[in-house]
Amino acid sequence: MFSLPSDDFKLDTTQFSISENPFKSHNGKIIGNIELIKLKALGTRMDKPEEKPKSFIQKTGNTVNFNTRERVILNNLLFSSGDIVDPLIIADNERILRELPYIKDARIYLKPREDNPEIVDVEIITKDVLALSFDIEARDFDSGVLRVNHKNIFGSGHEIDNRFSVDHSSDQRYSYQIRYRVPNIKRSFISFEANYANTVNQDFSSVKLQREFISPKIKFAGGIEFTNQRLRFTELSNIISDEEYDFQTINQRYDYQDFWLARAFPLNLKDPIRNERTRLIVSGRISNIKFTLRPEVDTELNQPFHNRTLAIGSVGISQRRYFKDQLIFGYGRTEDIPYGYQIELLGGYEWAEFGHRYFLGGKAGRGGYMGNLGYFLGGFSLESFLKNQVFEQGVFKADFRFFSSLIDLNRWKFRQFINVNYTYGIDRFSNEYIDIRDGNGIRGLKSNTLRGTQRFLINIETVSFTPFEAADFKLAVFGFYDLGMVNNGKKSIFSEKAQSGIGLGFRIRNDNLTFKAIEIRLAYYPDAPVGIPMTDLSLSGNSGFNFSDFLITRPSPSIFR
């Protein structure tokens, strides 16, 4: 059913290809020397690596930026000199390099030696980004937030994220939060992350070690996490309308531990490529949370604050391949889009202070190109806890996502994006709900009343990547239409009055920077609830969409949101 677009379809990208295709002709050859060409962030081009920065701004920006060290790139390789060329492994490695937060783009070239064509030397070209970013938020004359993030400290690949807050009207005037991350410890692809926060509403510390199945070559994945947190937050209660509701302050403190391990097995399929890309994955996990401060609890009261231990396992099949394209979520860099499928069955048992229960679930997804139309991704999941032979706290989800092939109209390039989601909560607890407000459904709509346990959403967006740019800042114009319905699940979702939002805006992005795209958006809501403005003008950062890559990871109940 899924295939790549035909050759006569007008795609405006030189990068569109199956990821392993450029390396197939060298399959089985021996890898010789490995040469790295590391390009600075500004004023350099992947297709012309010999070009040097020219302007004063480019040279100055590159001077203050730490270029990635050679050993950091080498630590992220899946192959070494003397190995046999496997086109799929080389393609995986090109993608892994591009996914590094401090790398804008990466290409790998295999070059046969003239004296011995059975040996290929490897040329790896990477282009850095300006790894330092900051964000300032002035809330009042005597309060504000400064966030400083560096994705590549001294070129080491380590990441640090600092957040400083000042609020002279608060009980705690100065607050600080920090996250430190090492993405790959000594070529093991094990990441380390530490978090600390000390604010008026939160004391938080955690450490985490984790390894994912970043490539089918990886046999084992797993993770360990320890967390201690004190948290105070305010939630709405007794909501009558968007103008009439109460506030409820909740204080909690808890300790949390999480351990999981997974093993991938080949399936010995007849097709060599499918056999290489398909894995049977078996995983197990145990997590524990114990509260030392919480609201009043009972059997049917404040269930999220119950002490509990969950043991859960899964077995699934995952097939992942990738194609390369441009102008999907980025503004010109090479992007790796997955195609394949995932099937997973889950089961577990939870020990809780007010009764034990089973957990059952399953999920499936499939995605890829369908002829010349574009990329389709569909998936569903069904899961629930089972207590005293009654299903509770379950959820059914169905998702459909689509983006069209790139349409070239002179120098203007267009894509169409469509997302459809249906979510149904199965006997959720009284304080659990989903909504269709901004961030979860209709962009910019800030209503508190549009929530329940059943939801249907459609998000449609047309994007034009314009030819306008200045100093590597590129402009995209978009129009959108969002439609959503939500209720308590006791009747058909389509019997509900639909809420909608329609609007337009533009995004400005420089792929050489780690900043989010700057988005300015104007929206109109024809049927906004009473007390909610019918228009919204917003300026914000936009990190773009992302698609599932059919990765089976830590087994877990879905988050109901």
pLDDT band with cut points at 50, 70 and 90 for residue 401: very high
**For residues 171-200, average pLDDT:** 95
**For residues 110-139, average pLDDT:** 92
The residue type of 424 is Y
Question: Number of helices (H) and strands (E), helices first, in the chain?
Answer: 4, 27
The predicted-structure confidence for 379-394, as pLDDT tens digits, reads as follows 999 999 999 999 999 9
Q: Which of 392, 378, 360 is nearest to 421 (CA)?
A: 378
Residue 4 has pLDDT above 60, yes or no: no
Residue 10 has pLDDT above 60, yes or no: no
- Running DSSP on this structure, what letter comes out for residue 13? -
Percent of the chain with pLDDT over 90: 73
Mean pLDDT rounded to a whole number for the chain = 91
Residue 270 has pLDDT above 80, yes or no: yes
pLDDT of residue 378: 95
pLDDT band with cut points at 50, 70 and 90 for residue 547: low
pLDDT of residue 239: 76
Helices (H), 45-128: 56-64, 70-75, 87-99
Residue 11 has pLDDT above 50, yes or no: no
Residue 218 has pLDDT above 90, yes or no: yes
The answer as to CATH 3.10.580.10 being correct for domain 17-128 is no
pLDDT band with cut points at 50, 70 and 90 for residue 331: confident
> Strand, coil or helix: what is 70?
helix
What is the spatial distance between Cα 127 and Cα 485, in angstroms, rounded to a whole number? Answer: 44
What is the pTM assigned to this prediction?
0.90
Burial of 154 (0-12, 13-18, 19+ CB in 10 A): exposed
What is the spatial distance between Cα 293 and Cα 155, in angstroms, rounded to a whole number? Answer: 42
Q: Which of 453, 413, 411 is nearest to 560 (CA)?
A: 453
Tokens standing for 152? Answer: 């590549």
pLDDT band with cut points at 50, 70 and 90 for residue 143: confident
pLDDT of residue 3: 40
What separation, in Å, do the N-terminal and C-terminal C-alpha atoms of the chain show?
32
pLDDT of residue 41: 92
Tokens standing for 410? Answer: 């002179």
pLDDT of residue 245: 77
pLDDT band with cut points at 50, 70 and 90 for residue 365: very high
Q: For CATH 2.40.160, list the domain ranges present in the chain.
A: 201-542
b/e string for 12-48 if b means 16 or more Cβ within 10 A?
bbebbebbbebbeebeebebbebeeebbbbbbbebee
Identify the residue with better confidence: 243 or 455: 455
The answer as to CATH 2.40.160 being correct for domain 201-542 is yes
**For residues 436-444, average pLDDT:** 92
pLDDT band with cut points at 50, 70 and 90 for residue 303: very high
Q: Which of 340, 347, 387 is nearest to 364 (CA)?
A: 340
Instruction: Report the phi/psi class of residue 23: left, alpha or beta, with left for phi > 0 and alpha for psi in -120 to 50.
Output: alpha
What is the spatial distance between Cα 156 and Cα 72, in angstroms, rounded to a whole number? Answer: 6
What is the spatial distance between Cα 337 and Cα 98, in angstroms, rounded to a whole number? Answer: 12
**For residues 159-177, average pLDDT:** 91
The predicted-structure confidence for 237-266, as pLDDT tens digits, reads as follows 777 777 677 788 999 999 999 999 999 999
The predicted-structure confidence for 31-40, as pLDDT tens digits, reads as follows 999 999 999 9
Q: For CATH 3.10.20.310, list the domain ranges present in the chain.
A: 17-128
| Distance, CA of 412 to chain centre | 28
**For residues 278-303, average pLDDT:** 96
pLDDT of residue 539: 78
The predicted-structure confidence for 47-87, as pLDDT tens digits, reads as follows 899 999 988 889 999 998 999 999 999 999 999 999 999 99
Residue 426 dihedral angles phi and psi, to the nearest 5°: -105, 105
> Strand, coil or helix: what is 549?
coil
* Whether the Cβ atoms of residue 420 and residue 455 lie closer than 8 Å to each other: no
Beta bridge partners of 122: 34, 110
CB-CB neighbours of 171 under 10 Å: 7
